Amino acid sequence: MAAREQSGGPSEPLPEEHPPAALDVLHLDMDSFFAAVEVQRDPTLVGRPVVVGGTGPRGVVASASYEARVFGIRSAMPTAVARGLCPDAVFLAGRFDVYGEVSRRLREILESATPIVEPVALDEAYLDVSGSHRLVGPSRSIAEALRRRVRDELQLECAVGVGRTKLIAKLASKAAKPVVGPSGVVPGPGVVVVEAADELDFLHRHPVRAIPGVGPRTAERLARFGVSSVGDLASVGRESLVRLLGASSGRALHDLAWGRDSRPVVAERAARSIGHEETFAEDIRDGAVLARRARESATAVAGRCRAGGVEARTVTLKVRFADFSTVTRSRTLARPADTASVIGDAACELLVGLDTGTGVRLIGVHASALVVAEQGRALQLQLFGGEERPGAPSAGEDGDPRDEIEAATEAICQRFGAGAIALLGDQARSGPRSGPAGPVA
């Protein structure tokens, strides 16, 4: 293996090649979220230093507006210290129900870009957009569009970082933030994309504390060996790091210092699902009718999975009985799927296990444990109909034109809102009381 020449930087050869340079990870971080929400809801606070946090003697700062940061106020600082730095700042206790509501709307915006959203906090999330390029465009466009929507719909600012890995995306979003200097707040670029070729340079410029897992104590220990930047860290041999920090964290830090971050963006299982529920005008007892309805919901779910470029590992059936008691049953698929037949089969198998004789008022199918759809998947074509309606013959000889239409419909609905377009048959079929369901609780 040829050693890689890097002038001025660490010269240790890469032990292994980088994976393909797809910039598919986004990190979105709201700008001083709690404080900004307060300012947005109370115009008299605009332009003033606002601090949200514990107001008691032992309280700490949860969020500070940029105006407050100019005074040196930072998150996690004791509120008493913050008061000392800026006695004129507005100190608020915080209304977490309000922040939660805004966060929920933020999540909806993020999920319009990709179903694979991993929330880290109310104001921060990772996104895997590898399945979204066909519909939405390159990662930079996705990032800019998200930023625009957050501004337009939430009247809040955020920064988005784009990179090949979570680590790079996170550092990039930080680089996209406004900067507080002695002369005031300098706006940041808003979106920072770190190309794979620039990744190590970018990474190595950061202090070691920028790497997750490096706390004050580790940083101090490293500093004693003259290691202060990530670049310094990268130039320390793997074995030396292991001796210094122990096997697991030594190896982990060495990998991260070389940009090797294999942590996937994982959609949160419970909230990260694609679901479709239908409430019936009249309770249904007939198992065959229920199975058909379950398949209809599965068809809708499958269409949205495909539109989002994801496949489901888990299928959940939700059944609400006439007496409003509700059960959910889940099963894990042999392999991730995005087709109505597989998701429908799973839903129907779950349905068979339930006693529906007392009547059912709602049936829902949810796909969760979503993963990015495998490329180059094989698809068994059908003689007639879409994949979804074997009983309805159509002239389609080349498989599933309906799938394409469904996918296109989904894309339009995602961009312009549900109801912007629907297939005629769907409008007639689904009736007024059905529609996409929210995340599974």
List residues near another protein by CB under 8 A: 288, 291-292, 295, 334-335, 341, 344-345, 348, 375-385, 389-393, 395, 397-399
* 387, 402 contact by CB (below 8 A): yes
Nearer to another protein, 123 or 400 (CB): 400
At closest approach, how far in Å is the CB of 433 from another protein? 23
Q: What angle is formed at CA 429 by the lines to CA 427 and CA 432, rounded to 5 degrees?
A: 60
Secondary structure class of 65 (helix, strand, coil): coil
For the CB of residue 340, give the shortest distance to another protein in the complex, in Å: 9
CB of 90 to another protein, least distance (A): 57
CB nearer to another protein: pick between 228 and 314: 314
> Toward another protein, which CB reaches closer, 197 or 378?
378
* DSSP codes, 233-296: HHHS-HHHHHHHH-HHHHHHHHHHHTT---PPP---TTT-EEEEEEEEEEEE--HHHHHHHHHH
Determine the distance from the C-alpha atom of residue 375 to the mean position of all C-alpha atoms in its chain, rounded to a whole number: 21
CB of 200 to another protein, least distance (A): 31
Handedness of CA 433, 436, 437, 440 (dihedral sign): positive
From 38, 111, 124, 199, active-site residue: 124
5 has catalytic annotation: no
Shortest spacing between CB 321 and another protein, in angstroms: 19
Q: Is 370 helix (H, G, I), strand (E, B) or coil?
A: strand
> Cβ atoms within 10 A of the Cβ of 95, count?
14
Residue placing its CB nearer to another protein in the complex, 148 or 335: 335
Please report which residue ranges of 176-246 form alpha helices under DSSP H.
199-204, 216-223, 230-235, 238-245
Per the structure block, which two tokens stand in for 253?
């830090």
**Closer residue to another protein (CB): 295 or 304:** 295
Q: Measured from the CB atom, is 132 or 382 closer to another protein?
A: 382
Largest alpha-carbon pair distance within the chain?
76
Q: Are 347 and 319 in contact (CB under 8 A)?
A: no
Shortest distance, CB of residue 381 to another protein, whole angstroms? 4
Q: Is 38 exposed, middle or buried (0-12, 13-18, 19+ CB in 10 A)?
A: buried
Active site residues: 124
